[in-house]
Amino acid sequence: MKAMQERRRQPRYRLGEGAIAVSANNPGHIQNISLSGLSFVYLHSDEPRPCGDTVDILDGQNDFFMEGIPCRTISEKVLVNESSFSMIRMVQRSLEFGPLSKARRADLETYIAKNSTSCA
């Protein structure tokens, strides 16, 4: 079996449980983050929702909020629920950040450096 080649330009990091991303009114827990994007999981809805072209990052435990980060959706997939009895479906969305100002990039870099718990 051939090993998959890493396509990400930046290393990904895990954050604490309080880190939330909100894109197109879909709030969810951030799975991992880098300077070039993030992945988050949110509750699936049967109502169609737009993907959105910005994302907000909120971490109340670490007093961090960054609003309106330009982004585009790289992938979105419904996660398999391990319990066949559960009606709850979760979706994982991976986003790539658009251009950031030097100040916003520095804020994001500082946040990741201070609050990441491990490499993803």
HEC readout, 2-13: CCCCCCCCCCCE
* Cα–Cα distance for residue pair 31/38, rounded to 1 Å: 7
Provide the number of structural domains found in the chain.
1
Residue 22 lies in a domain: yes
pLDDT number for residue 85: 64
Q: Where is pLDDT greater, at 23 or 51?
A: 23
pLDDT number for residue 7: 56
Q: Extract the tokens encoding 77.
A: 């997939």
How confident is the model over 40-79, as pLDDT tens digits? 999 887 776 666 799 999 999 999 999 999 999 999 998 8
* Alpha helices for the chain (secondary structure H): 102-115
pLDDT number for residue 49: 64
Length of the chain, in residues: 120
Residue 4 lies in a domain: no
CATH number, domain of 40, equals 2.40.10.220
The CA-CA-CA angle for residues 114, 90, 51, to 5°, reads 75
Q: Per DSSP, what are the bridge partners of residue 44?
A: none
3-state SS track over 25-76: CEEEEEEEECCCEEEEEEECCCCCCCCCCEEEEEEHHHCEEEEEEEEEEEEE
Residue 5 lies in a domain: no
Residue-number span of the structural domain to which 91 is assigned: 13-115
Residue 59 lies in a domain: yes
Residue 94 lies in a domain: yes
Find the radius of gyration of the CA atoms of the chain: 15
pTM score? 0.83
